[in-house]
Amino acid sequence: MRDHNNLDADADAAPSKAERRRTKIIQVLMGGSSTQIRDLAEMLDVSLMTVHRDLSVLEREGLVRRLRGSVSAEKSLLFESSYNYRGRKNVEDKRRLARAALAHLEPGNAVLIDDSTTTYHLSDYLHEVAPLTVVTNAAPILERLRHTPEIDLVSTGGRYHPGYHGYFGANCEKAIRSYHVDVAILSTTTIQGLSLYTPDEIVVRAKQTMMQVARRRILLADATKFQFSALNYVAEITDFDLVILTGEIPADALALFRASNVNVEIV
């Protein structure tokens, strides 16, 4: 699998047979039960050796665990896919959302961006509205923008979390609170009713702090955000000044948003 620091390159290249096979393995294991490795080989119509090679790659990435002829998804994957895996999903939708968000920025803005793989794609386009100040806890955004002209890049610092490929914790939150920005752009793990949830409370605290210091708040979400649940409450969707959505959004969700006077843009 490709390195998660190069998501832009991954998005432009067609996935290899091995990548498609490993994605299929992850999809099977996301059901939450242990699966026999021999059954995976039959399902994929490949040799046991090939499946074991794929599983070795996935194991190194912290996505799966093998035990006596069977394999299961790591617990963390069942609740929140690793950054590497999430970064491969719905890339075109994420780019569409990022492009739409760009229209709501102006040169000279101070912009706070969270660690999500959705908001990562803003880094493809921010140069178009530079000069900007960009504050982020996302390692891939810091790496991508560090040589971009007219981007004043600010890291929140904090404790690095490999699963989210970003910085979190008390020092991160303290740094965020020291700023007042024009716009905060965030995504979410899930949307249930009018509420946003995420599996990890360290992510909750970072997102909530970002929302507190922003004059305007924009949420980016594709249709998959309505398909799952998560444990920790983040915020109400009505706390955002603008919600940008893409994909086949459930009709009942859209009706609820409009009834609640949520400012929704569908792209």
Q: Name beta bridge partners: 183.
A: 111, 216
Report the C-alpha gap between 205 and 225 in whole angstroms.
Answer: 20
Report the C-alpha gap between 124 and 122 in whole angstroms.
Answer: 5
CB 155 within 8 A of CB 82: no
Q: What H or E segment, with its residue span, contains residue 185?
A: strand 181-186
Rounded to whole angstroms, the maximal C-alpha distance in the chain is: 58
Report the C-alpha gap between 158 and 171 in whole angstroms.
Answer: 5
Distances 237 to 174, 190, 240 between C-alpha atoms, Å? 24, 11, 6
Distances 232 to 134, 207, 216, 262 between C-alpha atoms, Å? 27, 12, 23, 22
pLDDT 10s digits, 25-37:
877 776 667 899 9
When pLDDT is averaged across residues 244-255 and rounded to a whole number, the result is: 96
Domains of the chain: which residue ranges? 4-83, 90-266
What is the phi/psi pair of residue 39, to 5°? -65, -35
**Cβ atoms within 10 A of the Cβ of 232, count?**
15
pLDDT 10s digits, 163-190:
788 999 999 999 999 999 999 999 998 9
pLDDT 10s digits, 36-94:
999 999 999 999 999 999 999 888 877 788 888 899 876 555 444 566 666 667 789 99
pLDDT band at residue 6 under the 50/70/90 scheme: very low
- The pLDDT of residue 8: 40
Do domains 4-83 and 90-266 share one topology? The answer is no
End-to-end CA distance of the chain: 30
CB 243 within 8 A of CB 237: yes
Amino acid letter, 162:
P
90-266 is classed CATH 3.40.630.10: no
Q: What is the DSSP track for 132-156? A: EEEEE-BHHHHHHHTT-TTEEEEE-
Q: Where do we find the tokens 């794929």? A: 54
Whether the per-residue pLDDT at 239 is higher than 50: the answer is yes
pTM of the model: 0.73
Q: Which CATH code for domain 4-83?
A: 1.10.10.10
